[in-house]
């Protein structure tokens, strides 16, 4: 008698006849699990980034709204990366620490003195290594550890954000009649 299966019976694979499941079924299950894990990690990463971004903006808004006449600071990023000539500096080294990375509003300038306005406008240039004609600015920036004069400075190295901020501060100085906007007070450290 012939022991071959009848034509009506499906033929079993070698894995099934040994009691093993076909590998296609087990590998597709593993693929699905890996896919789900990857999607969960991506969602958690993006969600975490968005939460940190949101919290950082809230800190900046709170800080900008309650600042006295000393500085407007961003609590999210204390290091300066906008210029190749700048090195990491503390928030107290700047009048407006993040003026090279975000657009500032005239309302943020209301509590600044005429001297602080002049410095805030020129610290944008100083981050790029501009040499200053006014003695007061030369003396002021020479005391900053992050300031390095660059003989190759060009205004074309300024970003759109920096140019907007310079214009905003200049406009505010003009609007308020700032006496120091275009005058040199010398190396007077009692500004």
How far is residue 141's CA from residue 78's CA, in Å, rounded to a whole number?
19
DSSP code, position 72: B
Whether 172 and 78 share a structural domain:
yes
pTM of the model: 0.53
Would 18 be classed as within a structural domain? yes
How far is residue 42's CA from residue 100's CA, in Å, rounded to a whole number?
31
Would 190 be classed as within a structural domain? no
CB-side exposure of 189: number of CA atoms within 13 Å?
Answer: 4
Whether 82 and 167 share a structural domain:
yes
Any idea what the CATH number is for the domain that residue 94 is in? 1.20.58.1690
Whether 85 and 161 share a structural domain:
yes
Give the model's pLDDT for residue 123.
96
Give the model's pLDDT for residue 53.
64
Whether 34 and 122 share a structural domain:
no
Whether 76 and 145 share a structural domain:
yes
Whether 73 and 160 share a structural domain:
yes
Asked if residue 116 lies in contact with residue 68, where contact means CB atoms within 8 angstroms, the answer is no
Report residues of the chain scoring pLDDT below 50.
Answer: 58, 60-88
Counting every residue, how long is the chain?
191
Q: For 136-170, give the DSSP string.
A: HHHHHHHT-TT----TT--GGGS-HHHHHHHHHHH
Give the model's pLDDT for residue 32.
78
Give the model's pLDDT for residue 26.
58
Give me the residue label for tokens 């975490």.
Answer: 48
Asked if residue 127 lies in contact with residue 85, where contact means CB atoms within 8 angstroms, the answer is yes
98-125: per-residue pLDDT in tens?
999 999 999 999 999 999 999 999 999 9
Would 128 be classed as within a structural domain? yes
Query: Helices 135-142 and 114-126 sit at what angle, rounded to 10 degrees?
Result: 70
In the chain, the number of structural domains is 2
Give the model's pLDDT for residue 79.
33
Which residues are within 8 A (CB) of 174 and not within 5 positions of it... i.e. 6 or more apart?
Answer: 181
Q: Reduced to 3 states, what is the DSSP secondary structure of residue 96?
A: strand
Q: Reduced to 3 states, what is the DSSP secondary structure of residue 177?
A: coil
Whether 158 and 96 share a structural domain:
yes
Which residues span the domain enclosing 169? 68-176
């Amino acid at each position: 008698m012939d022991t071959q299966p009848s034509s009506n019976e499906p033929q079993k694979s070698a894995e099934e006849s040994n009691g093993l499941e076909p590998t296609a079924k087990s590998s597709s299950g593993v693929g699905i699990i890996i896919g789900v894990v990857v999607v969960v990690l991506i969602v958690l990463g993006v969600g975490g980034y968005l939460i940190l971004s949101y919290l950082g903006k809230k800190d900046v808004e709170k800080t900008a709204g309650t600042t006295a006449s000393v500085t407007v600071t961003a609590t999210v990023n204390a290091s300066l990366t906008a210029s190749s000539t700048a090195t990491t500096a503390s928030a107290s080294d700047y009048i407006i620490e993040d003026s090279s990375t975000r657009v500032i509003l005239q309302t943020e300038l209301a509590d600044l003195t005429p001297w602080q306005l002049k410095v805030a406008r020129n610290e944008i240039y100083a981050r790029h290594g501009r040499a200053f004609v006014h003695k007061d600015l030369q003396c002021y920036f020479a005391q900053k550890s992050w300031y390095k004069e660059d003989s190759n400075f060009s205004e074309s190295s300024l970003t759109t954000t920096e140019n907007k901020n310079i214009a905003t501060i200049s406009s505010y100085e003009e609007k308020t009649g700032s006496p120091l906007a275009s005058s040199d007070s010398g190396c007077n450290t009692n500004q």
